[in-house]
Chain A
Amino acid sequence: MSRRDSPRTDGGARREPAAEALERRYRRLLAWYPHVYRAANADDMLGVALARSAPGRRWPEPGEAVNLTVSGIGERLGGMLRQPDRRDTAAVLAIAGPLLLAAGAMRTMASPFLFTPAIPALVTPERMLVTAVAFAAWWTLVALAGMLRWRRVAATGACLGLAGQVVLLVLAVSANDGALMVAYWQAAMALVTVTAALGSLRGQGRTLSWRAVTALAAAPAILAGRSAVETAFIRYTPRPGTFGTISDPLSGSERWLGVGLFAVALILTLTVIATLRPAVRRRAAVLLLPALLTTTLACWGFRGFVPAGPPIGLLALSPFHGQDLVLVPVIGVVAGFIVLQFYERLLRRGPGKPADAGLS
């Protein structure tokens, strides 16, 4: 409760009239609606809300407060999905998300070939491999459905995939940091995918060509397989009585090979984004930013995720390594959204531009 809302305790001070207090609180509730909607309807709505209220009330009825809050949030979300550009952006993400998730699952599938028998401590359990195969196949099918514009099938598949990822996340809570981090980001990506798939339900037309989708699929696949190249050069030296030692994966030419593959993946992604319409491109770039930040952080800071083991790499030495991976992408997407909103507002106000130029 803000200070202004707190009951007055100074006795002698003038108490705000009930009608004014009620109106102020209703105005605050109407703030849940988007600015444009409020500018057009707030006065009219306020009149109805006040007229519905019993005389002498200082606070909105709880049911009315909940209704305005839910309706306001719904209007914000609905407003996003009603605009063709946002629907097209959602359609792009509804394909890119499953591809990324499939690549993540493939990364788990590849892990036995990466770390064993070189590092026996990092053996991936068989059930984890079976799960990874199932999820890789599932998300590939969801991406394919999105590409074929079977939007309902894609949305249903994404919802079921999210449910599966949440189950994996719950199971991973008791596991090590590496497994939990992988499950956390897969669940977060699945949530984005579901939102995008639902948002693209009313979309029309194809937003990505098959060539673009191939490039988009290749980028995460390269990132998923990148660690395979790096770890292939790791030499494991067993020592009696200890776990043994491994050679430094950060030294030598393999490091530059890894950097090169990362650059290829980045160029492929940026090329696909560049082929989109400007309004869709802006949004896709902002929404893919967290994935880019996370990947960069995971690849360079942690030398990739290790599904069956603890995180390894430079940042793993930091006491904040878990928080880095959680916070940086979240901050990235929030900052991206704020910048995008600001930019679009500037476009709308720009000289000689139509009122909704930024959204078209």
Chain B
Amino acid sequence: MSERPLREPAFLVLTALAGGPMHGYALVEDVLRLSDGQVRLHTGTLYGVLDRLREAGLIIVEREEIVDSRLRRYYALTDAGIARLAAEAERMRRNASAATARLRRLRPAEGTI
């Protein structure tokens, strides 16, 4: 995957998998928790994200289980995925710091108007 910033669903999926291998529905639930109920991934979106992350080598299928006669696939971060998530988190932290610093300067000015 190119070094373009990850989109929010992809970032949240990687963040969820940083907690350990998970299957599809567990990912949906964990992403919902991580985003404070803001992001509830649809099935099509989730699998689109998982496909792209797999193609980029950021995640792998760790194992497959049969539960209630239905396949359940567990996904896990790769080393490349861990590095990418760390880089992305750092990039977002820098952006957030810059925004916070600007807002701090903006607020006193607003008060003088």
Q: List 20 A-B contacts (CB under 8 A).
A: A43-B70, A45-B47, A46-B70, A47-B24, A47-B25, A47-B67, A48-B25, A48-B43, A49-B43, A51-B28, A64-B43, A67-B44, A67-B45, A68-B43, A68-B44, A70-B44, A71-B42, A71-B43, A72-B44, A75-B48
B25 and A51 form a contact (CB under 8 A): yes
Known: A47-B72, A49-B43, A64-B43. A71 touches B25 (CB 8 A): no
A67-89 vs B, Cβ < 8 Å mask (1 yes, 0 no):
11011101100000000000000
What is the size, in residues, of chain A's interface with B at 8 Å between Cβ atoms?
19
What is B's interface to A at a CB cutoff of 8 Å? Answer: 23-25, 28, 42-48, 67, 70-73
Please tell me if A44 contacts chain B, counting CB pairs below 8 Å.
yes
CB closest chain-B residue, reference A61: B42
Q: What are the residues of chain A within 8 A of B44 when measuring CB–CB?
A: 67-68, 70-72
Residues of A6-49 whose CB lies within 8 A of B = 41, 43-49
CB closest chain-B residue, reference A47: B70
A43 and B28 form a contact (CB under 8 A): no
Please tell me if A63 contacts chain B, counting CB pairs below 8 Å.
yes
Given A44, A49, A74, which contacts B72 in the complex, CB threshold below 8 Å? A44
Known: A52-B28, A63-B42, A64-B43. A44 touches B71 (CB 8 A): yes
CB closest chain-A residue, reference B48: A71
Docked complex Cα distance between A49 and B46 (Å): 10
Q: What are the residues of chain A within 8 A of B72 when measuring CB–CB?
A: 44, 47
A52 and B47 form a contact (CB under 8 A): no
CB closest chain-A residue, reference B55: A82
B48 and A74 form a contact (CB under 8 A): yes
Known: A44-B73, A47-B70, A47-B72. A67 touches B43 (CB 8 A): yes
Give the one of B24, B43, B48 with max A CB within 10 A: B43
Separation in Å of the A29 CB from the closest CB of chain B?
9
Separation in Å of the B67 CB from the closest CB of chain A?
8
B73 and A64 form a contact (CB under 8 A): no
Sample of 16 more A-B contacts, CB < 8 Å, known A48-B47, A49-B43, A71-B43? A43-B70, A44-B71, A44-B73, A45-B24, A45-B43, A48-B25, A48-B46, A51-B28, A52-B25, A63-B42, A67-B42, A67-B43, A67-B45, A71-B44, A72-B44, A75-B48
Given A43, A52, A74, A75, which contacts B43 in the complex, CB threshold below 8 Å? A52
Nearest first, the 10 closest Cβ-Cβ pairs linking A and B are A71-B44, A67-B42, A43-B71, A48-B24, A51-B25, A67-B44, A49-B43, A68-B44, A44-B73, A48-B25
A213-224 vs B, Cβ < 8 Å mask (1 yes, 0 no):
000000000000
Docked complex Cα distance between A74 and B23 (Å): 23
Docked complex Cα distance between A70 and B47 (Å): 13
Separation in Å of the A262 CB from the closest CB of chain B?
47
Q: What are the residues of chain B within 8 A of A67 when measuring CB–CB?
A: 42-45
CB closest chain-B residue, reference A67: B42
Q: What are the residues of chain A within 8 A of B24 when measuring CB–CB?
A: 44-45, 47-48
Given A41, A51, A64, which contacts B47 in the complex, CB threshold below 8 Å? A41
CB closest chain-B residue, reference A73: B44
Docked complex Cα distance between A44 and B24 (Å): 7
Docked complex Cα distance between A52 and B23 (Å): 13
B42 and A64 form a contact (CB under 8 A): yes
Docked complex Cα distance between A71 and B28 (Å): 17
Q: What are the residues of chain A within 8 A of B71 when measuring CB–CB?
A: 43-44, 47
Docked complex Cα distance between A70 and B48 (Å): 11
Docked complex Cα distance between A71 and B70 (Å): 22
CB closest chain-A residue, reference B71: A43
Docked complex Cα distance between A54 and B83 (Å): 37
Q: What are the residues of chain A within 8 A of B48 when measuring CB–CB?
A: 71, 74-75
Docked complex Cα distance between A72 and B42 (Å): 13
